[in-house]
Amino acid sequence: MMTNKTALITGATGGLGKEFVRIHAQNGGDLVLVGRNPQKLEQLQHDVQNKYHVKATIIAVDFTEFDAAEQIFAELQKANIQVDYLINNAGLGGQGTFLERTMDEDVNMAKVNMIVPTKLMKLILPQMVKRGSGRVLNVSSSAALIPGPLQAEYYATKAYLTSLSDALWYELKDTGVTLTTLMPGAMETGFAKAGGLTDTKMFANGVSPKKVAEEGYQSMLDGKMNVFAGLPGWQRPFVSMMPMMPKKTTMRFVADQQSNQK
């Protein structure tokens, strides 16, 4: 499957982001690589262009800045780049009780996980709808379905992103534009390390991001609304039933899973 579509991927230098980059580049598509670290972006740009012979544009921006999305959009306009696929992959996690975590930690998480993807969709979706074509993939989490003690803010941000995305999927019907929400389980990526989660039970058996990315990317092309990926077979029905389970029991389970392994 070859494509001449341009994909903008946020968090492009991370584990899942790199997999999205690989998949799209393998299919012959050009890329806009967005991340915080200019050196990592330049290295990724060099690798992608040499290996896949596609064009890769880089945009370095700090997602904790309130106007990060506007900075990205301004660069797109300056370079006259049309985004065909928007993959909102960048995410920020972090463990600890709400009272332990600092104001900056939680506000920055809200910016990265909610504000930036919302603004990017506000800026890019109208262009897609006007053309009558486009694909959006928002990387949420299976955590979006329930409250999450010891990661209260993270679970809440993903609930916001999933709820917004599902509503937009409906609103975009018959426009030629689709919006897919990817809800993976725990993965072996830099996300767990950055969030101080590597020693928790939840991430003890994290899956490879490769399969998650492949499933998410294909679901985006197919225009699916929600896709669960990276969950062992037994977990899939369990996860889908979580919202119907007694909330206190579910939260006790989540809190236990986020405690360190004995």
Active site residues: 154
Instruction: Evaluate whether 103 touches 94 at the Cβ level (below 8 Å).
Output: no
The two three-digit tokens of residue 214, written as one number:
């492949």
Say how many residues make up the chain. 262
Give the Cα separation of 98 and 100 in Å (integer).
Answer: 6
Give the Cα separation of 186 and 190 in Å (integer).
Answer: 11
Give the Cα separation of 182 and 137 in Å (integer).
Answer: 7
List beta partners, residue 227.
Answer: 182
Q: Which of 141, 139, 136 is nearest to 154 (CA)?
A: 141
